[in-house]
Amino acid sequence: MTEALALSDAEIAGIARRLDRPVVLVGLMGVGKSTVGRRLANLLSTKFADADEEIERAADRSVAEIFEEYGEAYFRDGERRVIARLMEERIGVIATGGGAFVDEETRTTILENGLAIWLDCDIDTLVERTGRRNTRPLLRNGDPRQILTELKDRRSAAYSQAQLHIVTDNGPHTETALRILEAIDAWL
Ligand code: S3P
């Protein structure tokens, strides 16, 4: 047994064997897509990619710098291309930026070629987590709680098209990764 997990190593290996497409984490900023994604990839013994990091590498700039120098539309173009490439490369687990799945073309690419997981949690947790770092351009001009609440209202219809929906609390990310594995097991 892997410690503190309700799934045995053999069961997790079985899930990994049956999974024939990338698992793609979608949802709002601060929900834990990158950290949970890394844990999930680790458990599944597969590769992990963070789409924002890949965009930063390709542009040789931070996400904030890309927004500042070129604007959001330019960022979304890069995001669309990078996610299409990661899907083609069949990376096992991919964490996306919060706006990626709202873009119709990106959403279609993910839904047709991957297994989308909507990671969801309450606004208080999102405000607390995003408040730890000032790296997110969309939260710089205004009250983060209000912006996150508006984004949640606006984006939930898109996020709800993901094949799986996992609601988390402020608990440990490893536990969330396990809940995802259980949901994938039931979905397969
Ligand atoms: C964004 C979320 C960010 C990043 C960019 C835009 C969004 O990613 O892609 O700042 O539109 O919600 P995280 O969700 O990883 O913070």
Query: Which structural domains are found in the chain, ordered by start?
Result: 9-187 (3.40.50.300)
Q: What is the pLDDT of residues 90-129, one digit of tens each?
A: 999 999 999 999 999 999 999 999 999 999 999 999 999 9
**Bridge partners of residue 118, in order along the sequence:** 26, 165
User: β-strands 23-26, 93-95: how paired?
Assistant: parallel
- Tell me the average pLDDT across 11-38: 97
With a 6 Å cutoff on the Cβ, whether 97 touches ligand 1 is: yes
% of the chain exceeding 90 in pLDDT: 90
Confidence of residue 32 (pLDDT cuts 50, 70, 90): very high
Confidence of residue 5 (pLDDT cuts 50, 70, 90): low
Distance of CA 156 to the CA centre of its chain: 14
pLDDT given for residue 86 in this prediction: 98
With a 6 Å cutoff on the Cβ, whether 56 touches ligand 1 is: no
Q: What is the residue-averaged pLDDT of the chain?
A: 95
Residue 24 has pLDDT above 80, yes or no: yes
133 CA to middle of ligand 1, Å? 13
Closest atom, ligand 1, to C-alpha of 27:
14
pLDDT given for residue 134 in this prediction: 86
With a 6 Å cutoff on the Cβ, whether 103 touches ligand 1 is: no
Q: What is the pLDDT of residues 141-172, one digit of tens each?
A: 899 999 999 999 999 999 999 999 999 988 88
Residue 71 has pLDDT above 60, yes or no: yes
Task: HSE, CB side, 13 Å, CA atoms: give it for residue 9.
Answer: 5
Residue 3 has pLDDT above 80, yes or no: no
Question: Is the CA virtual torsion 186, 103, 61, 89 positive or negative?
Answer: positive
Q: Are 165 and 65 in contact (CB under 8 A)?
A: no
Closest CA to 152 of 121, 106, 129, 130: 121
Q: Are 127 and 28 in contact (CB under 8 A)?
A: no
CA angle 54, 30, 131 (to 5 degrees): 110
Residue 85, phi then psi, degrees to nearest 5: -65, -45
pTM greater than 0.85 = yes
User: β-strands 23-26, 115-120: how paired?
Assistant: parallel
Within 10 A of 57 (CB to CB), how many other CB atoms are there? 11
C-alpha separations of 106 from 16, 39, 77, 159, 183 in Å: 24, 24, 10, 12, 23
With a 6 Å cutoff on the Cβ, whether 63 touches ligand 1 is: yes
Within 10 A of 112 (CB to CB), how many other CB atoms are there? 9
In the numeric block, which tokens belong to residue 5? 């997990």
- Tell me the average pLDDT across 15-39: 97
